[in-house]
Amino acid sequence: MTVTATAAGGLAEDLGSFHARAKEWVAANLEPLDGADPYLGHAIDDADHVLRAKAIQRKLFDAGFAGLCYPVEYGGRGLPAEYQDAFIDVSYGYELPRLFNMPTFTIILPTILDFGTEEQKKRFIPAAIKGEELWVQFLSEPTGGSDLAGALTRADRDGDVFVLNGSKIWSTYAWKSDYALCVARTDWEVPKHKGLSVLIVKVHQPGITINQIKHVDGSDDFCQEFFDDVVVPADQILGQVDDGWNVASRLLLHEREAMSGSSPYAMAPRTAAHENDRVGAAALAQDSGGATDPRVRQLIGEARVLTRVHTALVGRIAVSIRTGRLPAAAGSIPRLSNGMMRVRLASIALEIAGDRAVAWSDNDPTGELGVAYLGRQGPCIGGGTTEITRNIISERVLGMPREPAEDLDRPFRDVRTNAAVPRHRS
Amino acid sequence: MDLDLTPDQELLRDTTRKFLQSTVPLTTVRALADDAARFDRGWWQRGAELGWTTLLVDERRGGGSISGEGLRDLALVAEEMGAMVSPGPLIATNVVAQAVSRDASDELASHVLPGLLSGESIAAWCVAEPGRDITPHGMALQARRDGAEFVLDGVKRPVDAGGQADWLLVTATGSEGLSQFLVPASAPGVRITPLRGLDLVRQYAEIRFDGVRVPSSAVVGVLGGASLSFEAQLQTVLVLQCAEIVGATDRVFDFTVQYAFDRSSFGRALASYQALKHRFADMKLWLESAQAITVDATRAVQDGAPDAGEVARIAKVYVGERCPELIQDCIQMHGGIGVTWDHDLHLYLRRVVMNRQTYGDPMHQRDSVAILADQIGGRP
């Protein structure tokens, strides 16, 4: 059974009956997580992860629960955000295709909605909502992560196509993805922000080499891509040529919305419950019994306080941005909170686990905690470092003066960078 | 500040703010520090006319809220009082008025409430005891039945507004269980000794009860069955403490940001230094977080949510710990002037530390949060 929005955009189903119907459908059609990682679900390996996510997304689409807030003409349901909230409410604790949540639904598709041509919107938005195509962002480069506008990857016009050369890095699950938004330089004779373009790039095609990067915890989600004369049709530019900074800025805005919980397109709440569970697990694993040791209790209490306050903050900032109390850049506040909270939670888990976090038996859950500690700084680095985040908060929320820069007033060709500019081989 | 206020709530906030600004500017607060009374009773009655004392009292007992949600209304007043480090027994009187409204007999309520509502009389909740936790199990003051009377023996300290109160709500234990009594401060056997304290205008006292005899009509609520009321009162206090702290911290952060724009060194505004900008970014995060959890706690307690006790304690831990640190950071931003008597920074720090340490400090509340988390997790 599916709901239809009327041609006039009116709703065929009120919120209450939607909520009830969604609840019933979720219980009958989705699998409970039962303690599984909410992100990976019940996938047995990486390949299975993609297949499962795509299949579940298709199931959601067929039942009328996909793309709830996307326009009907692009495969969505055209419903207000309250319907998405209702679906989140009833589907919490069930296996969802969270692989699609970020960046596909909350960052990429909203940006295509903002800047795409009619053809681009019709081609790409429904395919993602149906679970057919997964997206990735090609933003950071090996020569610099935080300075996005300093991109050295180049796209040179050659008749009907652009030819892409360079390298991107820190793209999550690139090898699992079908399409990417890629920031590249199309004009080197103008200042840095004026010569960028955003390209829609098919991930699996000649000239693209993807290397998985092994993380300290042994996982290999992050990738580096090498572009070697990759051909991109000229009609696959998102927005205008050389107006890529405008597009990329919107991309980052949608990323902040996603991070701050104010995106209407998110399929799951961004709470910290999962991280908090690790602290509880560490306490459980204590031989002494965590709840009876006053030192451990202080740490458990601290962890619970941090996660609950973070949840409250996410809600407050989302409302503040929506009502204009704070500028959109305030999305950086929950981003900073998330990084600092997760760093502390990793340390708390280590503290509680004691020596069992560093020397453990098979099947001892405390071993994971020591390994997680090794990658502790990740949440303070990915998605823009907490240092850049503090710059954004102080400059764009509090209005303090910008950091001095020596790359704004000259052609990008004359800017000092970390690499020799790669040349297009003609 | 709550981001979802009704026009009436905005009016309450604005009239309270204007009244405080015109009647108790910081110069007046400083002057009141040398006044034994610490606040002017006539001034408190004018505040009562604005609604400061009625918000937690049932309409049938002469009270009434602005929005139908009295605690949310009162939290706005508390925030404004924090922003002005205002004098006045706001938390002490309101928590007792709430308890009397909810639990007291008609006879007792009609005897006591009119004075509290009009501001003519002041009340204090005698709960903390030396070296004891603020929990039902922490209560050691004894209530012993003697015929138609009860005899109270024990010590309460520190008692918020204990030196000014006309009525004392005493939480006691005994063979009957946890009970509460409303005792006139003038009752024989009550010995009140004002304590020296950090806050310039909120004074605390030690109150000794030496064989104080009260009639059974002084019992508030069910004899031996006061633990639910105890919890409700504590939640109210924690929320109001947090609202005051947040109000004070918001004000300090505001004028410290301004100072960073105005003050320069090496020919540059302080606000242009990245080392300082990053600290301000952290402070903004903490302030928004403190406001967010305070609003969540206020709503949870207002609504009687199942997790109200947990959220109120979480708020006390976070706000009580983080905001004094934030103000210390603001003092650091000011440099030498920040640790002088003449600068107003210390007035705010005094108030927030006072609230931090009383009615259960963050370390105590963090322990309670852990116990609650443990129960919720279903572990032994």
Average pLDDT score over residue span A57-65: 96
Contact call for residues B50 and B94 (beta carbons, < 8 A): no
Beta sheet of B167-172, edge-to-edge order: B123-126, B167-172, B179-184
What is the Cα–Cα distance from A115 to A96, expressed in whole angstroms? Answer: 28
Q: Tell me, what's the ipTM?
A: 0.95
**pLDDT at B380 > cutoff 50:** no
Peptide bond into A103 cis (omega under 30): yes
**Residue A137: per-residue pLDDT:** 96
- Looking at per-residue pLDDT, the higher value among A355 and B99 belongs to B99
Whether residue B375 is predicted with pLDDT greater than 90 in this model: the reply is: no
In this prediction, residue A17 carries a pLDDT of 93
User: Cα–Cα distances in Å, from B367 out to A305, A343, B293?
Assistant: 11, 21, 18
**Locate tokens 């710990």: which residue?**
B321
Task: Output the pTM of the full model.
Answer: 0.91
Chain B residues close to A398, C-beta within 8 Å: 257, 271, 277, 280-281, 284
Winning range, highest mean pLDDT, from A29-33, A40-44, B256-260? B256-260
Q: Cβ distance B371 to A298 under 8 Å?
A: no
The pLDDT value recorded for residue A11 is 61
Give percent of chain B above pLDDT 90: 94
Closest in B282, B317, B374 to A305, CB measured: B317
Half-sphere exposure of B172 (CA within 13 A, CB side): 31
CB atoms within 10 A of CB A371: 15
Q: Which one of B284, B368, B371 has the shortest CB-CB distance to A398?
A: B284
pLDDT at A273: 54
The reply to whether residue B277 touches residue A394, judged by beta carbons under 8 angstroms, is yes
The confidence band for A257, taking pLDDT boundaries of 50, 70 and 90, is: confident
Residue B161 pLDDT class (50, 70, 90 cuts): very high
Q: Do B295 and A336 touch (CB under 8 A)?
A: no
Between A28 and A259, name the one with better pLDDT.
Answer: A28
Tens digit of each residue's pLDDT (9 = 90 or more) over B29-86: 999 998 888 999 999 999 999 999 999 999 999 999 999 999 999 999 999 999 999 9
Band of the pLDDT at A7, cuts 50, 70, 90?
Answer: very low
Confidence of residue A81 (pLDDT cuts 50, 70, 90): confident
CA distance A342 to B40: 49
Q: Does A309 touch chain B (CB under 8 A)?
A: yes
Q: What digits encode the pLDDT tens for the residues A129-153?
A: 999 999 999 999 998 777 889 999 9
Q: Tens digit of pLDDT for each residue in B75-89?
A: 999 999 999 999 999
pLDDT of residue A288: 52
Going through A258-318 in order, the beta strands assigned E by DSSP cover none
CB A269 within 8 A of CB A92: yes
Beta bridge pairs of residue B143: B152
Higher pLDDT, A277 or A214: A214
- pLDDT at residue A240 above 70? yes
Q: Is A333 on the interface with B (CB under 8 A)?
A: yes
Using CB atoms, pick whichever of B271, B284, B377 lies closest to residue A333.
Answer: B284
Which residue's structure tokens are 């990658």?
A: A375
CA A80 to chain centroid, in Å, comes to: 22
pLDDT at B377: 47
What is the arithmetic mean of pLDDT over B273-298? 98
Q: How many CB atoms lie within 10 A of CB B60?
A: 10
What's the confidence (pLDDT) of residue A208? 97
Beta-ladder partners of A169: A224
Predicted local distance difference test score (pLDDT) of residue A354? 87
Q: Which residue has the tokens 């892409």?
A: A164
In the structure encoding, which two tokens stand for residue B136, read together? 């039902």
Q: What was the pLDDT predicted at B376?
A: 53
Task: Share the mean pLDDT of chain B.
Answer: 96
Residue A166 has pLDDT above 60, yes or no: yes
CB A200 within 8 A of CB A181: yes
Section A163-176 average pLDDT: 94
Residue that has been written with the tokens 């009830």 in this structure: A20
